């Protein structure tokens, strides 16, 4: 995992858009973003992921693969949808098994984007209520294990006045203001 400020220049969202380096990765910690580097298993066993899942009460998981070939005609619309700024009322947990991409998170209170480059072996947890977006990188392939506290669901709430007052967003802001 590698994090830096997004440059906000026009261009393909899948390009690196590498701005200024984060001086301190503790910024992600302050935003509540958790991250680990866990080597991808060659035998399909994931004891470290299992331990984290148990500790954090993740009961379900699945694997998703996103490729241009796999999504066919839906590829461009899906990539645009993932890249809409949104939040969830649940944590977003992804363990990257193959490929690579970017999670962009909003720094608070500056509202600047921090780009987090993820690749195989990265486990990232975005807290409920954080504004974020996702895109593949220029390789156009990622395979990720998704972990869930309860039944798998992925409900995005695109940023607007309503999401700014969402109780999960408000709770997130309270938690990070204490950090």
Does the annotation flag 132 for ligand binding? Answer: yes
% of the chain residues with pLDDT over 90:
90
Q: Which CATH topology does 2-8+20-178 take?
A: Jelly Rolls (2.60.120)
For residue 83, is pLDDT > 90? yes
Which residues have a Cβ under 8 Å from the Cβ of 68 and sit 6 or more positions away? 75, 140, 141
92 labelled ligand-binding: yes
Tell whether residue 35 is among the known ligand binding residues: no
Coil, helix or strand at residue 144: strand
Q: What global pTM score does this model have?
A: 0.95
Average pLDDT over all residues of the chain: 94
- Rounded to the nearest 5 percent, the helix, strand and coil shares of the chain are 25, 35, 40
H or E stretch covering 102:
strand 92-106
pLDDT at 23: 62
CA dihedral 24, 28, 32, 35 (to 10 degrees): -110
Task: Please tell me the distance from the alpha carbon of residue 73 to that of residue 19, in angstroms, as a whole number.
Answer: 32
Q: For the segment 129-138, what is each residue's pLDDT rounded down to a tens digit?
A: 999 999 999 9
22: pLDDT confidence band, cut at 50, 70 and 90? confident
Nearest to 152, CA basis, from 90, 96, 71: 90
């Amino acid at each position: 995992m590698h994090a830096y400020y997004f440059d906000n220049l026009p261009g393909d969202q899948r390009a690196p858009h590498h701005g200024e380096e984060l001086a301190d990765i503790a910024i992600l910690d302050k935003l509540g973003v958790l991250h680990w580097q866990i080597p991808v298993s060659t035998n399909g066993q994931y004891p470290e992921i299992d331990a984290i899942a148990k500790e954090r009460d993740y009961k379900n998981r699945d694997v998703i693969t996103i490729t241009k070939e796999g999504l066919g005609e839906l590829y461009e619309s899906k990539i645009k949808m993932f890249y809409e700024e949104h939040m969830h009322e649940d944590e977003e947990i992804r363990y990257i098994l193959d490929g690579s991409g970017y999670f962009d998170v909003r720094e608070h209170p500056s509202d600047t984007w921090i780009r987090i480059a993820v690749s195989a072996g990265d486990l990232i947890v975005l807290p409920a209520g954080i504004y974020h977006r996702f895109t593949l990188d220029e390789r156009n392939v990622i395979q990720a294990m998704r972990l869930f506290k309860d039944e798998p669901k992925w409900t995005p709430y695109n940023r607007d006045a309503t999401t700014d007052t969402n109780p999960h967003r408000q709770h997130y802001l309270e938690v990070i203001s204490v950090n």
